[in-house]
Amino acid sequence: MNHYQQFVTNNYYFRPDQSEYWQTYLINNILLILIPIFLFLFFLNIFIHRLFFVAIIDLMAIIIAVILLVIFHRTNDVKNISIFSVTLYTCLLIAYILISGPSDYAFTWILVFPPVSYILLGRNTGRFVTMVSFMLIFLGILFFSPPWVSNELSLISFINLLFAAICVTILISFSELSRAKAYDFIKLKNEELMRLSHTDALTGISNRLKLDEVMMKELARIRRGTPHFSIIMGDLDLFKRFNDSYGHLVGDQILVEIASAIVPICRLTDTVGRWGGEEFLIICPETSVEGATILAEKIRKSVESLPLHRYGSVTISLGVTGSKLADDINTIVMRADRALYLAKSAGRNQVRSVQNTDFQLSLDESELSHFS
């Protein structure tokens, strides 16, 4: 079962392993934190420093933060909100630097560009935005010639600050590259673990866990109006006696060969799995009972004609049923199991289908063991 976390500020659900999870969390918190910070700076610049142009920038930053936060909560558009946030605050920061210059070390805010851009926009876009920001500051100084450039900031100071910013950019770039590679490696390993957890160790086809997940998804799909699906339950005839005669290692090898024979007959959209022991289950999306019955007959013939050398032949009985809106996993599997029982009772090596719930679905254990 999947577990989701709901953010307090967004009515959207994320899994912790989703790439947008932490980015959404970060954007929410950055925008929320900016509001009181710039509100404090606004009053400080108005009443203490009397820097009215800077106060206007602070006020614009507050307004932008509130607007972006409201839009973000309504749309949860992580990509565009990240771009708008970085772009607008970059423009405000450039304006602040050009106005204030080295006063109270205002120019050191240039070091903010790399981490914010890289964290919110990613490595490639972040690098581009950082370089553009540096270029805009340089062009602003070159063409607008703020009075503090010649009076308060020496060329050596400017070069030192510029190189410091470039070094920060390079370090963050390599850090983001390493983080991205580590994330890709972990993602690859997680996918491999997920595949192994959904695969039957003996036959290599889907296991019970995977079959349950697929059926849950298909049941959810039909409730949204998609065509119904069917399932095929297959059980090898008298396989216990076969194991007793030749041993379980031979029995395991035969299960592998049978699984290999069933998979090519089915469609790519079908899910073929081992339900347990010598039982197989095939889930056929958007398939009628009639269509699944035809597929089951092909499987029966393929298993019957499977060359097993000196071990003789193995047959399989199969039960087919279709989904209903009121179904859960238990009810649809019980119907397929009932159809399988009918195939066994008809003499084995048969295909039978159940299309309604008129049958008694509870089976006596002695009856099942007699026909297994």
- Asked whether 107 and 153 are in contact (CB, 8 A), the reply is yes
* Residues contacting residue 200 through CB under 8 Å, at least 6 positions apart: 206, 207, 259, 273, 274
Count of beta carbons in the 10 Å neighbourhood of residue 78:
18
Q: 278 catalytic, yes or no? A: yes
Q: Specify which of 40-54, 108-122, 189-203, 254-268 reaches the highest per-range mean pLDDT.
A: 254-268
Task: Please indicate, yes or no, whether the overall pTM of this predicted structure exceeds 0.85.
Answer: no
Check 191, 192, 218, 278 and give the catalytic one. 278
Label residue 9 by pLDDT band (50, 70, 90): very low
User: If you ran DSSP here, which 8-state letter would residue 318 be given?
Assistant: E
CB atoms inside a 10 Å sphere around CB 75: 12
Tokens standing for residue 121: 């926009």
Task: Identify whether the C-beta of residue 239 lies closer than 8 Å to the C-beta of residue 251.
Answer: yes
Side chain identity at residue 91, one-letter code? C
What are the pLDDT digits (tens) for 122-150?
778 888 888 888 788 777 777 766 655 55
Q: What is the pLDDT of residue 113?
A: 74
Percentage of residues of the chain with pLDDT beyond 70: 83
CATH superfamily of 208-371: Reverse transcriptase/Diguanylate cyclase domain (3.30.70.270)
Return d(Cα 320, Cα 358) in angstroms, integer: 15
List the domain boundaries for the chain: 5-195, 208-371
Which of 49-58, 168-177, 196-205, 276-285 is the most confident on average? Answer: 276-285
Contacts with 67 (C-beta within 8 Å, 6 or more apart), sequence order: none
Q: What digits encode the pLDDT tens for the residues 253-307?
A: 999 999 999 999 999 999 999 998 999 999 999 999 999 999 999 999 999 998 8
CA distance 136 to 30: 24
- The answer, yes or no, to whether residue 317 has pLDDT greater than 70, is yes
Least confident of 94-98, 129-133, 149-153: 149-153
